[in-house]
Amino acid sequence: MALVAYCLLYIVIYYLHISFFTVDIVFYAALFDAVIAAIITTFILLLPYFSLFETFEKQLLVIVFLLIGYAISISVPTVIDRSLSFYILEKLEQRGGIKLVSFEDVFTKEYAKEHRLVDVRLTEQLASGTVIIQDGCVELTDWGTWLARFSRYFRQNFLPKQRLLMGEYTDALTDPFRDSDKTIDYECQ
């Protein structure tokens, strides 16, 4: 009963948040809503109806609330907001089918524009403190540098070395910069 109450409360708080307040980053907003719902549900646990639970059990329930809230926050609004896979499904539903050879154009000419990818991702990075923008140049902060190095290390050492991509098993995504174009002119001076 307490879990159902928590989930319903979380959904209501999330809906009110996204409907009537500003949101900087979907994931952080959803996490905030999960914590607010956990706090309110914790007070509900103090009602006489829940006196059959010991204090330790109530504490465990609060931890479970937070874990469920985290799982929902990352698995539903954040995934739908960020997911290229969901975009593909939505685009296929919109168009009724797309030629396989046209998918690169769909991503570069439609996806990036329709979802304002650059604006969204830079806003998230700025709000997270991983980048700064100075004199028209986007640069990593110390925190951003640490995350980038961790991500690259994890990618190279802990992502699948034999991953299925379009009918072929490859390690291409463990080092996506392997075949990067070396002749670029957009670096900051």
Distance CA 45, CA 2 (A): 7
Question: What's residue 110's pLDDT?
Answer: 92
Span 26-43, mean pLDDT?
Answer: 95
Question: What's residue 22's pLDDT?
Answer: 92
Span 8-13, mean pLDDT?
Answer: 97
Domain boundaries, the chain: 2-81, 101-170
pLDDT at residue 37 above 90?
yes
Q: What is each CA distance from 158 to 95, 150, 171, in whole angstroms?
A: 37, 11, 11
Expressed in angstroms, the distance from the first to the final Cα of the chain is 60
Question: What's residue 83's pLDDT?
Answer: 87
pTM: 0.77
Confidence of residue 49 (pLDDT cuts 50, 70, 90): confident
The first and second tokens of residue 14, run together, are 């999330």
Confidence of residue 2 (pLDDT cuts 50, 70, 90): confident
Span 152-176, mean pLDDT?
Answer: 89
